[in-house]
Amino acid sequence: MPGYDLHTHSTYSDGVTTIEENVAAAAALGLEGIGITDHDTTAPFEVARDAAEAAGIEAVPGTEFSAEEEGISVHVLGYWVDPRNAPLATELDRLRNERTDRARRIVERFGELGIAITFARVRALAGDAPIGRPHIAAAVVESGAAADLREVFDRYLADGGPAYVEKHAVTPERAVELLVGAGGVAVLAHPGLYGDRSGAKGLPISVVERMVASGLVGIEAHHPDHTDEQRRHYEAVASRLGLLVTAGSDHHGRGAEDRLGRATTSRAQVEALRQRRIV
């Protein structure tokens, strides 16, 4: 299986597998490389580089940056960013620190809904990783209030849901500016999975256009949770806006279907991305 899986998560954020396990899985699949894209952190870069070098594949260092557009979470993948870049590092630190306060408020919201979970249990489930909504969802499943994580998100934690708590975040275009300013390239993650306030799926194209004006160079049209219609739609958007098309599994290691390598980007596209860097 040639190519690169450009979207993976590990225990450095909300994945359940380690960086070393992800790299080993990518090598076993015959992939040429793996994107390191944990949420709002650059901490695993050195570990990933060493593991990939030992495995004989390439680690593409990156982060999945959390932004927001009128209450809608928007994620931007930034590859080859400099972790020492002060503006980016400052914003990533702030995002991670705010996760804890937001998690406390979400736990309180579940209590108001009659679902008894504790922040202490959520913290234990997160381990050393920054606390995220999947850890809260896991606590809800553990309590017996839902059958699985998807049900928790669909019923409670999706944008605008009864347990959703808004977070302070930069705009999508500011996220792009920070990633590009840190020497990286910015790619819009899974655009078909966002919802607007009317309940419609998909990020408005006007937002994508604003992001392009700020330096966006790619769009993750090929995501396992996109429909065939969405893939074709975002390929057409990419063609119209001059964006590169990428693919990634969005691997978190949660269940048989959530496996690394489900969607891959060709070496040619990875090299085209690399050439778009402004350093």
| 258 and 213, same domain (yes or no) | yes
| 143 and 185, same domain (yes or no) | no
Residue pLDDT, tens place only, 138-194: 999 999 999 999 899 999 998 789 999 887 789 999 999 999 999 999 999 999 998
Does 124 score more than 70 pLDDT? yes
Beta-carbon count within 10 A of 64 CB: 25
Q: What mean pLDDT value characterizes the chain?
A: 93
| pLDDT, average across residues 115-137 | 89
Q: What is the pLDDT of residue 197?
A: 45
For the chain, the 3-state helix, strand and coil shares in percent, each to the nearest 5, are: 45, 15, 40
Q: What is the band of 134 on the pLDDT scale with cuts at 50, 70, 90? A: confident
**DSSP annotation string for 126-177:** HTTSPP-HHHHHHHHHHHTS-SSHHHHIIIIISTT-TT--------HHHHHH
| pLDDT, average across residues 268-274 | 98
CATH for 114:
1.10.150
The percent of residues in the chain predicted with pLDDT above 70, rounded, is 97
CATH for 54:
3.20.20.140
| 74 and 185, same domain (yes or no) | yes
Provide the residue range defining the domain that includes 271: 4-92+168-275
Domain boundary at 157, 177, 197, which? 157
| 61 and 80, same domain (yes or no) | yes
Residue pLDDT, tens place only, 203-227: 889 999 999 999 999 999 999 999 9
Residue 262 lies in a domain: yes
Does 233 score more than 50 pLDDT? yes
| 152 and 175, same domain (yes or no) | no
Contact residues for 184 (Cβ-Cβ < 8 A; gap 6+)? 62, 78, 79, 80, 81, 82, 277
Residue 163 lies in a domain: no
The residue ranking higher by pLDDT, 6 or 98, is: 6
Domain boundary at 157, 181, 199, which? 157
Domain boundary at 157, 189, 204, which? 157
Residue 26 lies in a domain: yes
Q: What is the pLDDT of residue 127?
A: 81
| 46 and 147, same domain (yes or no) | no
Whole-angstrom distance, CA of residue 164 vs CA of residue 147: 19
| 148 and 172, same domain (yes or no) | no
Does 92 score more than 90 pLDDT? yes
Q: What is the pLDDT of residue 198?
A: 46
Residue 44 lies in a domain: yes
The residue ranking higher by pLDDT, 204 or 22, is: 22
Torsion from C-alpha of 231, 72, 204, 13, nearest 10 degrees: -30
| 144 and 182, same domain (yes or no) | no
Residue 162 lies in a domain: no
pTM: 0.85
Question: What is the domain count for the chain?
Answer: 2
Residue 34 lies in a domain: yes
| 48 and 180, same domain (yes or no) | yes
Residue 258 lies in a domain: yes
Residue 119 lies in a domain: yes
| 175 and 256, same domain (yes or no) | yes
| 137 and 263, same domain (yes or no) | no
Least confident of 29-43, 231-245, 247-261: 247-261
| 47 and 180, same domain (yes or no) | yes
